[in-house]
Amino acid sequence: MPVFVNAAGCTRQCRYCTSPDRLPAHCVYSKEELLKMAQIWGPLTIWYDPAGHPEFPEILDPRIAGEADTLMCNEVSLAEAERLPRTLGVLHSYGYHRVHFYLHGNGSTHDAFINRKGAWEAVLKASAAVAEAGWEVGWTVMLDTRNLGEIHGLVEVGRRFDGVIRLALHPHLIGRRTWAYEKVRPTLAQIRELLPDIQDLDPSWTAPLEELTETHWLSRWQAGAPREEFMDPLEPRAWPPQEPIEQLALHILEDRQVYLNPQCAPLIHLGGINEDKAMIQDRLAHLPDPIPALETRAQPRDHGDLLHPSGASVRYKLISEVLFPGPHHLPRENAR
């Protein structure tokens, strides 16, 4: 598992970002520093927006980022990249042939979500340039109550680029800001009304919609379903973590410190990047379980037919209610 490194900041200011800092787009770690990190920690995932780094695309050199074929970046950075054909040529030499963007609606809806005017136009500009270069374009559209009425038109636009369009639900992640998303989380009734053909628009939607409701997930949780159904793939299966360090989600932040992201709780500090890797591994081997008290205090409450992509999303929402009491009583927004 690559180590996530806050190396490049972000050109977006998404309303529901889980980052505690929302880093501005700038260089946090240089290519030289990243190369040294990779020699110690293995392949790195450049967070948040590699295309916003001044040494892009070279920071995605396989010696730093490992082997990959899909560029995940923000549309604004790529659209503004100088000499885009040359940039794509370098990336192609690294093995890349696909670009993937995350969208939050059509036009002004997308711009409002990420707090960036002109972002939608940047999506179109970057997608057109990538498609013209013979690359595959991928869009994942995150569904919420404000964009359901725009999805059919958005899918049609994406198909102009021969793009692969995916429709997705936001998972609830541990973080105070993600509570704001709950007021626009779509319901089963809204999807049935506004997107009755969702499984035609995106064939990857194979599970019955009724099995994605909060009611369904909670009923399985209370019935004693396998715990793995309610765990993110990167959540440690035991405490202290038994997995090799390469299988855990480690984050190196701009403070030059290393953290474990257990997914089910806030980041856990492990030490500094200049410390010996063996010392970090030793601390991992003695970490106490961060969540038993949280789960004991969590009171499952049925929020009806709100849709979640996984059981982990519902379980993490219960834990968040304990960690961040209060903000979850937000009025819901109507679908449109």
Task: Tell me which H or E stretch contains 258.
Answer: strand 257-260
Token representation of residue 319? 């834990």
Q: Catalogue all structural domains in the chain, each as residue range(s) with its CATH number.
A: 3-323 (3.80.30.10)
Mean pLDDT for the stretch of residues 39-50: 90
Given pLDDT bands bounded at 50, 70 and 90, which one contains residue 153? very high
Alpha helices in the chain (DSSP H): 31-41, 62-65, 75-80, 84-94, 108-114, 119-132, 151-159, 188-194, 198-201, 214-222, 277-284, 292-297, 311-323
Give pLDDT tens digits for 247-276. Answer: 889 999 989 999 999 999 989 999 999 899
Dihedral (C-alpha) 327, 330, 333, 334: value to the nearest 10 degrees?
Answer: 140
CA 251 to chain centre: 14
**pTM of the predicted protein model:** 0.89
Q: Are strands 257-260 and 250-252 parallel, antiparallel or unpaired?
A: antiparallel
Return the residue matching tokens 């909670």: 218
User: What whole-number percentage of the chain has pLDDT above 70?
Assistant: 88
Buried/exposed code over 163-182 (b: 16+ C-beta within 10 A; e: otherwise): bbbbbebbbbbbbebbbebb
Rounded to whole angstroms, the Cα distance separating 243 from 235 reads 10
For residue 102, the SS3 value is strand
Q: How confident is the model at residue 12 (pLDDT cuts 50, 70, 90)?
A: confident
With contact defined as beta carbons under 8 Å apart, do 154 and 141 qualify? Answer: yes
Classify residue 43 by its DSSP letter: S
